[in-house]
Amino acid sequence: MSEITKLTADVDVGEYYEKYVDFEKFSKLCIEEQEMLGYNWNYPPFDFDVDDIWNSYNKLKIIAFKIDFSEEELDHTFEEKELEFILKRFERMKVKLMNEIYALESEDSLGLFLGKCNLCMRCTREFGMPCKMPFKMRYPIEALGGDVDKSIEDIFGFKIQYAKDGKLPEYLIFVGGLLYDKK
């Protein structure tokens, strides 16, 4: 059975921005991903300057959910469709985990989604329509230019891992956060 651990760290936004944010680099990766997997309102391109978001807050609470797999799960080799189904199940779990971040929000803070938004079965952006859930949709750290892989490794000591060759990784990590202490 999988086990979920919540990891948190509070960091200074200015320091995080200097060390980990490169919007030009990560926006290109987000756009490439969308070209393959479909467009999403919480990924660039945006009609606003992401620096305005980073410059509006003093603190960032990084909130990561680490899902460790059992030995039995790790030993099993999955068929491609089976592995895809399992990973989609964990992707859908992000909505439930995101509730913990929503609960921390106030008028002086902004939650950051755990990766690509999956509130809808298919994002309306693919059809040129407005977001159906703008009250729940949040931007993830990587869409705002943050290097999630490097920051998780530096701050928590874990490398982001991926499933491959029919095998689950030792763990999955979903990373979100909360920008707070509004300027």
Cα–Cα distance between 26 and 45 in angstroms, integer?
11
Confidence of residue 20 (pLDDT cuts 50, 70, 90): very high
pTM (two decimals)? 0.90
Q: Of the given ranges (55-59, 121-125, 144-148), which has the lowest mean pLDDT?
A: 121-125
Of the candidates 37, 39, 44, 32, which has an alpha carbon nearest to the alpha carbon of residue 146?
44
Q: For position 30, what pLDDT does the model report?
A: 79
Q: For position 32, what pLDDT does the model report?
A: 79
Confidence of residue 89 (pLDDT cuts 50, 70, 90): confident
Beta strands across the sheet bearing 3-12: 3-12, 57-68, 171-182, 110-112
Q: For position 54, what pLDDT does the model report?
A: 97
Where does residue 63 rank: exposed (0-12), middle (13-18), buried (19+ CB within 10 A)? Answer: buried
35, two tokens: 């070209």
CA distances from 62 to 8, 16, 33, 174 (A): 5, 10, 23, 11
For 78, other C-beta atoms within 10 Å of its C-beta total 17
Confidence of residue 21 (pLDDT cuts 50, 70, 90): very high
